[in-house]
Amino acid sequence: MRVAVVSDIHGSRTALEAVIADLRGTSPDAVLLGGDVADGGSSPVEVLDRVRDLGWPGVMGNTDEMLIRPEALEDFAARSKAPSLWDAVREIAAATRSALGEERLAWLQALPMELVREDAGLALVHARPGDCWRAPAGDASDADLSAMYGVLGQPIAVYGHTHLPSIRRLTGTPKLLINAGSVGLPYDGDPRASYVLIEDGASSIRRVEYDVEAELALLAHCGLPGAAWTAKMLRARGPAMP
């Protein structure tokens, strides 16, 4: 069985459409959504509607949760020492929440925290089991990762959140831990959209070129708060402060 995992679109219509076109070529049996659908990009409404129309099952990301549960953001921000960052995130979330409206927010609210596909031997979360806000550190040991993701009970575990695609073989369970990277906002210096393709236990990170300048133009004219910050990160190909 061939399964694709698409994560961290972050409202980028241009990147999403390029990935959808690539998926037509790779022809997976199923496409799963790794969370962080709409917030922060040029086209939150259009992206959410497109994904919903495609019928991709998936999980809730942290920016999805903060749209439906603002207190989740406050809980996380309370442990941070970067107040200017969270002020910007609050403003973006408020505008995105208003743009999406109640019916779309209800769709986000129905997303689970975990998704298991036993037919593919795969489990999907946004960051880690039970927590869509905190992914493991990059230098986490095999033992720590097995303890964290082994509770999912599948030989393959997939997550996103960090915007850093990777494939790691573990000595315990799961046997394979995959970060799908980000469709709309890669942080690894590569401007191309990222998603993962898994078939019969083998996996590959797909990188898809798209018109970044076109997305930057959409950001410049969308009128949403935080658009300049997102544009800054797209240009930097990595995280940046607002």
In whole angstroms, give the CA distance from residue 29 to residue 3: 6
Mean residue pLDDT of the chain comes to 96
CATH number of the domain residue 118 falls in: 3.60.21.10
pLDDT-derived band at 80 (thresholds 50, 70, 90) equals confident
Query: Range with the lowest mean pLDDT among 41-50, 78-87, 89-98, 198-207?
Result: 78-87
Question: For residue 73, is it within any domain?
Answer: yes
Instruction: Identify the pLDDT of residue 18.
Output: 98
Each residue of 108-141: pLDDT tens digit?
A: 999 999 999 999 999 999 999 999 999 999 999 9
Question: For residue 241, is it within any domain?
Answer: no
Instruction: Identify the pLDDT of residue 82.
Output: 75
Which of 146, 152, 166, 66 lies closest to 114 in space, CA to CA? Answer: 152
Instruction: Identify the pLDDT of residue 32.
Output: 98
Instruction: Identify the pLDDT of residue 190.
Output: 98
Report, as an integer, the average pLDDT of 55-70.
98
Each residue of 212-241: pLDDT tens digit?
A: 999 999 999 999 999 999 999 999 999 999
C-alpha R_g of the chain: 17
* pTM: predicted TM-score of the whole model, two decimal places: 0.97
pLDDT exceeds cutoff 80 at 147: yes
61 CB-near residues (< 8 Å, 6+ apart) = 7, 8, 34, 35, 36, 37, 126, 127, 132, 160, 161
CA trace torsion 199, 204, 210, 213 (10° rounding): 140
For residue 190, give its domain range: 2-236
Instruction: Identify the pLDDT of residue 161.
Output: 98
Question: For residue 242, is it within any domain?
Answer: no
Domain count, the chain: 1
pLDDT exceeds cutoff 80 at 41: yes
Question: For residue 56, is it within any domain?
Answer: yes
Instruction: Identify the pLDDT of residue 84.
Output: 76
Each residue of 9-25: pLDDT tens digit?
A: 999 999 999 999 999 99
Contact 74, 94 (CB under 8 A): no
163 CB-near residues (< 8 Å, 6+ apart) = 8, 181, 182, 185, 186, 187, 188, 239
Instruction: Identify the pLDDT of residue 40.
Output: 94
